Amino acid sequence: MKCTKLLVAFLLLLASNGKAQGLTTLPDGGNKKASVSELIGITDVVIHYDRPGVKGREGKIWGGLVPYGFNDLGFGTSKASPWRAGANENTTISFTTDVEINGQPLAAGVYGLSLAMKEDGATVIFSHNATSWGSFFYDPKDDALRVEVKSEKTKEETERLTYEFSNQTENSARVSMCWEYLRVPFTVSVDYVKTQMESFRRELKSNKGFRWEAWVQAANFAVARHTNLDEALAWSNYAIEGPFVGQKNFNTLSCKASVLSALGRADEAASLMKEALPLANMVELHNYGRQLVAEKKFKEAMDAFKLNAQKNPNVFTTNVGLMRGYSANGDFKTALKYAKMALPQAPDALNKNALTGYIQKLGEGKDVN
């Protein structure tokens, strides 16, 4: 009898919506639709859900409106359903690359997200069934992954159910379901370097690979992460010599020099940089000098800044470069001279204010880098 009444009510809801006759659009029952996304490394994580409200039911949500465990909801094929982790349609979560959930592997794809709530935590369920209405048709055979998590009490109330990302790092983020005074978190992790390298390999075979810049970007990433250096060397060579792609310019030659240096082939790297430096424009030389300062190669940085000043004398960028070079090498008096020369050449208020600060620091005998 209970099942019959529920079915009648469900069909009446369908009939009340003018677009529902094709079973493609269903009423929302006053709940708000929402989505939230986060980029972790190069992995897109997207959650689609409906947001029920507390509506004065504090203390009656957990273990009441949302029963604990797996339950017979009186409709559909499932006799032991988890909570749909929201309202109305399945809550879904998607990943564009393989991930780990609390350290357990999960393949790229779209999943129905459900929670079997407990008094102090939940079983988080990722189901291959991402298209059903709620969890009325839940089947454990569709489970891709289950993880056990602890829930957290919150001081502030969340009126409408919300999913949020927090504790973001390059390789991970914490995903939390927040509602009433409860938070249910789990962590999504990725192998950023691995997925980025795999992405480079695919993209370099596409139309993106018809530009030397793409090969330089891929090689520079590998150098920065000190990974796959032999592959990076091949990429840097292609940026220089590849058919229809390769160009011999400062960026391509300096990229290969960086790879050679990372491989421990310092003499070859130095020789290649001698060839590259005369090809650099003012901005490229300035940025190269700053890179060397960041790497604490202060003498080499000074040489780069001086070469830039010889090619482009007494202009804002090269005077600032000489300021940075002399400051990095501990000659604050000479650095101060070039800072004062650059001040009236500043192109805007932002640079002028920055130089004013540098002049003060140099006057106090402090490095500006």
> So what's the pLDDT on residue 133?
86
The answer to the question of residue 5 being in a domain is no
Quick one: 203 and 182 in the same domain?
Answer: no
> So what's the pLDDT on residue 9?
39
The answer to the question of residue 56 being in a domain is yes
How confident is the model over 51-85, as pLDDT tens digits? Answer: 999 999 999 999 999 999 999 998 989 999 999 99
How confident is the model over 345-354, as pLDDT tens digits? Answer: 999 999 999 9
Domain CATH number, residue 292: 1.25.40.10
The answer to the question of residue 118 being in a domain is yes
Mean pLDDT of the chain: 91
Quick one: 35 and 168 in the same domain?
Answer: yes
Among the three residues 257, 279, 301, which one is the final residue of a domain in this structure?
Answer: 279
For 131-144, give the secondary structure using H, E and C: CCCCCCCCCHHHEE
Among the three residues 190, 215, 247, which one is the final residue of a domain in this structure?
Answer: 190
The answer to the question of residue 10 being in a domain is no
Torsion sign over Cα 17, 22, 23, 25: negative
Quick one: 47 and 179 in the same domain?
Answer: yes
Q: What is the DSSP letter of 67?
A: -
Closest CA to 62 of 183, 162, 187: 183
Look at residue 219 and give its three-state secondary structure.
Answer: helix
Q: Is the pLDDT of residue 342 over 70?
A: yes
How confident is the model over 195-242, as pLDDT tens digits? Answer: 999 999 999 999 999 999 999 999 999 999 999 999 999 999 999 999
For residues 251-257, average pLDDT = 97
The answer to the question of residue 23 being in a domain is no
Q: Is the pLDDT of residue 1 over 60?
A: no
Q: Is the pLDDT of residue 125 over 90?
A: yes
Quick one: 296 and 270 in the same domain?
Answer: no
> So what's the pLDDT on residue 29?
57
- Specify whether the CB–CB gap between 279 and 256 falls below 8 A: no
For residues 142-166, average pLDDT = 97
Distance CA 135, CA 102 (A): 23
Question: pLDDT confidence of 18, banded at 50, 70, 90?
Answer: very low
Structurally, the chain folds into a number of domains equal to 3
The answer to the question of residue 12 being in a domain is no
Question: pLDDT confidence of 50, banded at 50, 70, 90?
Answer: very high
Quick one: 58 and 166 in the same domain?
Answer: yes
Distance CA 99, CA 106 (A): 5
What is the span of the domain harbouring residue 320? 281-369
Quick one: 136 and 53 in the same domain?
Answer: yes
Quick one: 166 and 295 in the same domain?
Answer: no
Quick one: 36 and 161 in the same domain?
Answer: yes
Q: Is the pLDDT of residue 14 over 60?
A: no
Question: pLDDT confidence of 6, banded at 50, 70, 90?
Answer: very low
Quick one: 259 and 216 in the same domain?
Answer: yes
Q: Is the pLDDT of residue 153 over 50?
A: yes
Quick one: 92 and 117 in the same domain?
Answer: yes
**Lowest pLDDT segment from 70-79, 99-108, 322-331:** 70-79
Quick one: 75 and 123 in the same domain?
Answer: yes
Calculate what percentage of the chain has a pLDDT beyond 70: 92
Domain CATH number, residue 246: 1.25.40
The answer to the question of residue 200 being in a domain is yes
- Opening angle at CA 237, ends 235 and 240, nearest 5: 115
Quick one: 133 and 55 in the same domain?
Answer: yes
Predicted TM-score (pTM) of the model is: 0.78
Among the three residues 279, 309, 335, which one is the final residue of a domain in this structure?
Answer: 279
Bridge partners, residue 162, by sequence: 178
Distance CA 59, CA 64 (A): 9
> So what's the pLDDT on residue 269?
96
The answer to the question of residue 24 being in a domain is no
Q: Is the pLDDT of residue 324 over 50?
A: yes
Question: pLDDT confidence of 134, banded at 50, 70, 90?
Answer: confident
Q: Is the pLDDT of residue 7 over 50?
A: no
